[in-house]
Amino acid sequence: TGILHKSSESRTFPMNVEAGGGYFSLQIVVLVLFGLYALLLLYHIIDLCWQMRCMHLKARRIHRPFKAFLSFLTDFFTEPWNLVELVSLIISLGTLVSFLVLMLNGFRSQYRFSTGNSAGYVVPNIDVRYYKMKPVVDPERYLEDDWFVFNQFEQVAVLREVFLELAALNSLWAGIKAIKTMSNFSMMSTFSNTLAHGKSRNLYFI
């Protein structure tokens, strides 16, 4: 149309992820919880791999190698709870990786808000060469430094959004896995039977 429509939006996000985004220090607590989460995730991955191995060995006792593998895949993926376990572990692993990428981001950990020139953020030399930025004595360098900082803010914001989306999906699938665990108790049979009868409606809701 030849008409330029201007728009702008603002997004807030914490740079101090290890402190919970506040003025208090939660670094030790966050690290301890992160370590526990990583250990439990590793345990569930090993447990699922062991179950898959046992199912495959059981199929090999009955069928030939190639047919045993197909039989194993059929038996494993036709069980709904196995799919829930597999998808949940994939999402959990993605959540772990995205959190590590966010925490280890150099700009996020090194940048500090300051109004003084001496304490300002210095663009790494590798980025200066990559973006072919002007020398420090050039007046345009200040503008390029600002562009670089804004670009880094955008990248950190995207990393955080990816982490939050994966964490939300992880919470959903963790709730579904909790239903599987609770269904093993006899006192929860009424609840699990109700969910089983309404599973199609629940899938539409999700």
Confidence of residue 91 (pLDDT cuts 50, 70, 90): very high
Reduced to 3 states (helix: H, G, I; strand: E, B; else coil), residue 52 is helix
Report residue 164 as tokens: 């939050």
DSSP state letter for 184: T
- H or E stretch including 70? helix 65-77
The label of the residue with tokens 């199929």 reads 59
The pLDDT tens digits of the residues spanning 38-73 come to 998 899 889 888 988 888 888 888 877 778 788 888
Q: What share of the chain is helix, strand, coil (3-state, %, to 5)?
A: 70, 0, 30
The pLDDT tens digits of the residues spanning 177-201 come to 777 777 667 766 676 677 667 767 7
Give the separation between CA 109 and CA 103, rounded to whole angstroms. 7
Looking at every residue in the chain, the average pLDDT score rounds to 80
Q: What is the pTM of this model?
A: 0.71
